[in-house]
Amino acid sequence: MKKYILTIACVLMVSAFAKAQSAQDIFQAVGTPSNPKVKISFNQYYTSEGLAALGKKITDAHPNLVKRMSIGKSTQGRDIWMLAITDYSTGDADRKPGFYLDGNIHSNEIQGGEISTYTAWYLTESFGKVPYITEMLKDRVFYIVATINPDARNNYMKEANTRNTPRAGMIPLDDDSDGLFDEDGFDDLDGDGSITQMRRKSTTGDFILDPRDPRKMIRISPDDVVTGQRYEMLGGEGIDNDNDGRINEDIPGYYDPNRDWGWKWQPDYVQRGAYKYPFSAPETRAVADFVKKHPNIAGAQSFHNSGGMILRGPGAEEDLATYNRADIAIYDAIGKKGEELLPGYNYLTVYKDLYSVFGGELDWFYGGRGIYTFTNEIFTGFAYYKNKDGGFDQIYAADKDLLLGDGFTPYKEYNHPTYGLVEIGGFKKNTGRATPGFMLEEEAHRNMVFVFYHAFHMPHLSIGDVSVKSLPNGLKEVTATIVNDRLMPTHASQDLKYNIERPDYISLSGAKVLAGMIVQDADFNVTTEQKNTPETIRVANIPGNSTVMVRWIVKGGNNLTIKVDSAKGGVVEQRVK
């Protein structure tokens, strides 16, 4: 009888809990989709397979907004999944201005996977509810790749690593040139999944425990009088697997996918991390092939970590001439807005504020394809206390105050085969660079709205004033003003310099066109005539926040159609009576 009553009570409790989670019992928090079709926890990280599964759920729940495709295979044969998101009921998706977004090019820089997925989720769950998103998807298409380095993402998450390894792609390399591959990588001696630090008590050691925080080691200065225990730091956990007298010198494959792109590429002896030749890694090749097949892509964003930075090129001073004043003004406007949207982040230039990068992704996107591109370095120590970034020391306080000790492995003794009795401990691999779970959704949302601001300012074309003027002998003069009301032109300066993309076409149909011209000055009637195919006027560029005026002389026709066809600006048409 007691068992029966207990069972009934449990059923009632479960029933009550289920009812508490129903849609009518939830009050929406502003800025977050209410009662989403796909429920995702954005306070945790997902493996490559986990991200792929989330992408499929989003696609299955929103078939009218998402098409999912593999753009290639990774080194180990995993699919590189892309979600193409737009309102497929309006226009040709491939002819809409496109925005490319990716994350996790470096294996340990994982937040980009979640931010990219959050962006896809937010777009689909907000369509039809948030006018800004609904309008955006009518005339924009987003190409979202959550991880372009799925093999190395899984290695970082599933294998023993430090916070900084593996940065690379997963092509096996012999880092110490001893003819062996990956034979002396990290060893997780205490089995906690993270490579922390080894220290050893020593009468001649040059470190002591910080008296204010025993988790921290501080170096002894020459004038210090030391009465307590000295330690020597031995580096990361590991043993000498190949008997060459060194530890951790040949960690799994080191090549850097962000040195593999075909713009100002340099070989490994110049640019550490470069592979055989530009696009020699299958992951970067897959992205490049996709981008080249989609000339509608006008803006791009790649997510890295960390440091709280909004980066633009050039990657190297040698490439400084690539970025001219007009395009830098556009970068500046978007980047400075990013500083407002992302508190604690700084808008910077790679070569000037960091270091030289040859063969980088953002430089290839802009230099090679004329696509305005940013790289965001996700997470900054500012996020901990919302006042300043106190550097690495701040993480000790944050672990104690905010993470409640969850980010640090206390030191424990271990009998090392080479060093004897040592102590192993320190910060876990998911502490410091990876955004803590309770901050991750805010990080994702803020970086997403920066993407939206960037995408909003891709070219947005319309046909403005149209006038029809009667001329002698049954002729008519048709004049049209083409408007671009966003920051970006239809052709970046780099595009114009190297003729990367075709001109914009402005055409008139419905009558016999005798002459076509670009109007340089309407007041003084200064025009430049196009002798060949006058019905389709070729315009080199439609500048941002500006207009282009064209004119035709036609005979006959009462129902005319003006069409603007721009690779990066899309297609618009208007009937003229």
Return the active site residues.
Answer: 377
Note the helical H segments in 468-545.
Answer: 493-498
Triad 324, 329, 331: Cα angle to 5° = 95
CA-to-CA dists, residue 179 to 22, 184, 185, 246, 252, angstroms: 61, 12, 14, 15, 14
Rounded Cα distance, 489 and 500, in Å:
14
**468 and 575 Cβ atoms separated by less than 8 Å:** no
Check if the beta carbon of residue 308 is closer than 8 Å to that of residue 379.
yes
- Candidates 144, 143, 140, 161; CA nearest to 152 is 161
Residue 306: cis peptide before it, omega within 30 degrees of 0: yes
Two tokens at 451? 């993407």
Write the DSSP string, 192-249. SSB--EEEEE-TT-SEEEETTEEEEEEEPPTT----S--EEEEEES---TTSSS-SS-
Residue type, 471: L
Q: What is the DSSP string of 94-158?
A: GGS-EEEEEE-SSTT-THHHHHHHHHHHHHHHHTTTSHHHHHHHHH-EEEEES-S-HHHHHHHHH
As a whole number of angstroms, the distance between CA 282 and CA 148 comes to: 10
* Closest to 121 measured CA to CA, from 55, 197, 192: 55
Take residue 76 and report the two structure tokens written for it. Answer: 């180990």
For residues 304 and 377, is the Cβ–Cβ distance under 8 A?
yes
Grouping H, G, I as helix, E, B as strand and the rest as coil, residue 423 is strand
Of 517, 491, 488, the C-alpha closest to 503 is: 491
Closest CA to 119 of 140, 95, 145: 145
Alpha carbon of residue 310 to chain centroid: 11
- The distance between the two most distant Cα atoms of the chain, rounded to a whole number of Å, is 107
CA–CA separation, 211 vs 548, rounded Å? 70
- What is d(CA 375, CA 107) in angstroms, rounded to the nearest whole number? 16
Tokens 């390399």 sit at which residue? Answer: 173
